[in-house]
């Protein structure tokens, strides 16, 4: 069965490609998803503080607690998802994020470990 969603790889910048998924109409609003496994860096977390994105969210957002100086610049809705048993992000880091951005939705999954949102991972 063919999907009504059309996908294609597109060049974003030299050495950087992205997967474009178009709805059946061929146009319309949609999410922009950045993936990084090495924590917050200038082109991802900080996107909520430096761009006009409509909303932002992070799963296992390591390093965010080190850039809370940028929190006042965030004007969009935020949602964070953390694991309670994360070897890489201690719960006190999550508490610092919550304190700096009380407007954000922060979800802490009590039985989860780092990488909990990957269904291919045993944890």
* Span 49-59, pLDDT tens digits: 888 888 888 88
Question: Residue 75 CB: number of other CB atoms within 10 A?
Answer: 11
Q: DSSP letter string over 5-38?
A: SEEEEEEEETTEEEEEEE-TTS----------SS
List of residues 6+ apart from 49 with CB closer than 8 A: 70, 71, 73, 74
**Per-residue model confidence (pLDDT) at position 90:** 94
Cβ neighbours for 16, distance < 8 A, ≥ 6 positions apart: none
pLDDT digits (tens, 9 = 90+) for 68-118: 999 999 999 999 999 999 999 999 999 999 999 999 999 999 999 888 877
d(CA 116, CA 59): 9
User: What is the domain partition of the chain in residue ranges?
Assistant: 36-113
């Amino acid at each position: 069965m063919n999907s009504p969603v059309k996908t294609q790889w597109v060049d974003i910048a030299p050495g950087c490609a992205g997967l474009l998924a178009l709805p059946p109409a061929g146009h319309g609003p949609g999410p922009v998803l950045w993936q990084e496994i090495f924590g917050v860096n200038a082109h991802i977390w900080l996107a909520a503080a430096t761009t006009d994105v409509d909303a932002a969210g992070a799963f296992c957002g390591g390093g965010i607690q080190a850039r809370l100086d940028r929190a006042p610049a965030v004007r969009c809705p935020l949602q964070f998802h953390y694991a309670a048993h994360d070897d890489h992000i201690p719960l006190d880091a999550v508490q610092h994020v919550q304190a700096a951005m009380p407007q954000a939705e922060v979800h802490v999954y009590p039985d989860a470990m780092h990488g909990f949102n990957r269904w291919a991972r045993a944890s």
